[in-house]
Amino acid sequence: MISWGKNNKEKIFFTYLFCVFFLSPFLSLIFPDQGRKTVRSCSFSISYDSISSPLLSGAILFLPKTEAFNSSSPFFPSFFKDSEDRFPVPKIPFAPPNYVCYRASSPLKIDGHLEETDWKRARWTEDFLDIEGESRPKPRFRTRAKMLWDDNYFYVAADLEEKDVWATLTERDSIIYLDNDFEVFIDPDGDSHEYYELEINAFGTVWDLLLIRPYRDGGPAVHAWDIRGLKAAVKVDGTINKPGDKDKGWTVELAFPWEVLKECIHPGKLKPDPGDQWRVNFSRVEYRVNVKDGRYEKAKDPSSGRLLAEDNWVWAPTGLINIHYPEMWGYVQFSEKIVGQGKEEFQLSFEQDASWALRQIYYRQKDFFARQRRYSENIEELGLAKLKVEKYRWPPEIKVTWNGWEARLLSEDGRTILFIREDGRFWKSSLEGKETKEEEDKI
Ligand SMILES: [Ca+2]
Ligand SMILES: [Ca+2]
Ligand SMILES: [Ca+2]
């Protein structure tokens, strides 16, 4: 193991510098046959001779593997500091919002109007926040969503307050977030892989795609994937692409057929069972606009002339400007109750906290690998030995495999094992009754 700890970092670094730049010329004098014969001074005129080159090569090959190279010491230039290379992690506490999704009493008419009694009975989500969380400025316009389901569809409705409704894209599978848009993300089994994304603008143009893995884990995003049978409609409360008047906003109404969503549900399921919880998020991309020659155009920074960055307002903040952190998305629990006919509580589960604890291993392994060029099986090395995880036997067992690593965490009752691995996928295996130990050994 190559690790000297923080106290020795600078010593190691400067010892190498000393060897390479000052000592090697003297060694050349002592061993003239091994190096250059003429050394006029302790100058920096070293070259790739037989003495200095091993030292220099050693420094090049060896130092990047040490803690010294990742020091946050002020003596090191910034490109040596690990803060620059840190794997981006959510900078907010783990507190995903939740929503109980009730059944619709009859099929909804997907026309953008949220006039159905069922919609009126469904509750709004919390108002959307900046994607980085509550520490960022409150969104300029209110955005909220609702959900319902029946035997054939998962329904989503959204209300987007907006004083200037505009859109440009009319072709399916265009990059819709280049316009103001509303976006839906659905990870049915919550494993953070194989999830759906849909974006829609105020024209009702959609972009639907399937993410095999988040981009951070290599993707890819399958743009050619289409939600066959998707019903999508938008209603503009005001005028579209007409500056000069003040609009109120736009509403979105969507019906996702289970027939398509089942592709990423656990095998054998056509739709969720009552009580199932899915990971879902909604996002709204919003640009600042100016009016020029009677048309909207995206606002630019007057000093640089560049387009101003868009705002991302979401239901479940991820704590960084990246929606593709499915571990931060909201939990949607499907209820068998008809909307308006009784109330069901959302079931908070210890598994959620345990999954978050395992996710820390994923984040830490990313950093550990960046520094050490290997993964760790040692929870102390990852700095996570002291985590407390209720109802689970922390620490998990971590195994480094030929192509990565895998961690598994057993519940106190021995009936559940949670897994996470190098590519970020999280999953669960349930074990039953007396055979628990035996089954566990098999996994
Ligand atoms: Ca409707
Ligand atoms: Ca999934
Ligand atoms: Ca598509």
Residues 152 and 273 in one domain: yes
Query: Contact 399/392 with Cβ under 8 angstroms?
Result: no
Residues 177 and 236 in one domain: yes
Q: How far away, in angstroms, is 256 Cα from ligand 3 center?
A: 14
Residues 252 and 308 in one domain: yes
Residues 222 and 290 in one domain: yes
Residues 258 and 126 in one domain: yes
* Ligand nearest to C-alpha 106: 1
Residue 173 lies in a domain: yes
Which residues are near ligand 1, the ion (C-beta closer than 5 Å)?
Answer: 109, 111, 113, 253
CA distance 240 to 247: 8
Reported as a pLDDT band with limits 50, 70 and 90, residue 263 is confident
Residues 308 and 422 in one domain: no
Q: How far away, in angstroms, is 390 Cα from ligand 1 center?
A: 44
Reported as a pLDDT band with limits 50, 70 and 90, residue 86 is confident
Q: What's the pLDDT at 441?
A: 44
Residue 91 lies in a domain: no
pLDDT (tens digit, 9 = 90+) per residue, 105-133? Answer: 999 999 999 999 999 999 999 999 999 99
Residues 79 and 228 in one domain: no
Q: Please report where in the chains the tokens 């993410």 appear, as a residue.
A: 211
Residues 116 and 212 in one domain: yes
Q: How far away, in angstroms, is 125 Cα from ligand 1 center?
A: 18
Residue 92 lies in a domain: no
Q: How far away, in angstroms, is 355 Cα from ligand 2 center?
A: 14
Residues 298 and 437 in one domain: no
* Ligand nearest to C-alpha 212: 2
Tokens of 145: 């969503």
Residue 122 lies in a domain: yes
Q: Phi, psi at residue 294, to the nearest 5°?
A: 75, 10
Q: How far away, in angstroms, is 379 Cα from ligand 1 center?
A: 52
Residue 190 lies in a domain: yes
- Of 348, 369, 399, the one marking the end of a domain is 348
* Ligand nearest to C-alpha 198: 3
Residues present in the chain in total: 443
Residues 219-242: what's their mean pLDDT? 96
Q: How far away, in angstroms, is 122 Cα from ligand 3 center?
A: 29
What average pLDDT is seen over the chain?
85
CA-based angle 155:250:184, to the nearest 5?
Answer: 40
The whole model's pTM is what? 0.80
Q: What's the pLDDT at 264?
A: 86
> Residue 80's domain spans which residues?
6-84
Q: Please report where in the chains the tokens 């490109």 appear, as a residue.
A: 79
Residues 234 and 129 in one domain: yes
Residues 57 and 172 in one domain: no
Domain count for the chain, please give it. Answer: 3
Residue 103 lies in a domain: yes
Residue 89 lies in a domain: no
* Ligand nearest to C-alpha 211: 2
H/E segment holding residue 9: helix 9-18
Tokens of 400: 């480094």
- Of 333, 348, 363, the one marking the end of a domain is 348
CATH number (domain holding residue 293): 2.60.40.1190
Residue 312 lies in a domain: yes
- Of 348, 381, 405, the one marking the end of a domain is 348
* Ligand nearest to C-alpha 253: 1
Q: How far away, in angstroms, is 41 Cα from ligand 2 center?
A: 66
Q: How far away, in angstroms, is 224 Cα from ligand 3 center?
A: 4
Q: 28 versus 440: which is more confidently predicted?
A: 28
Residues 53 and 124 in one domain: no
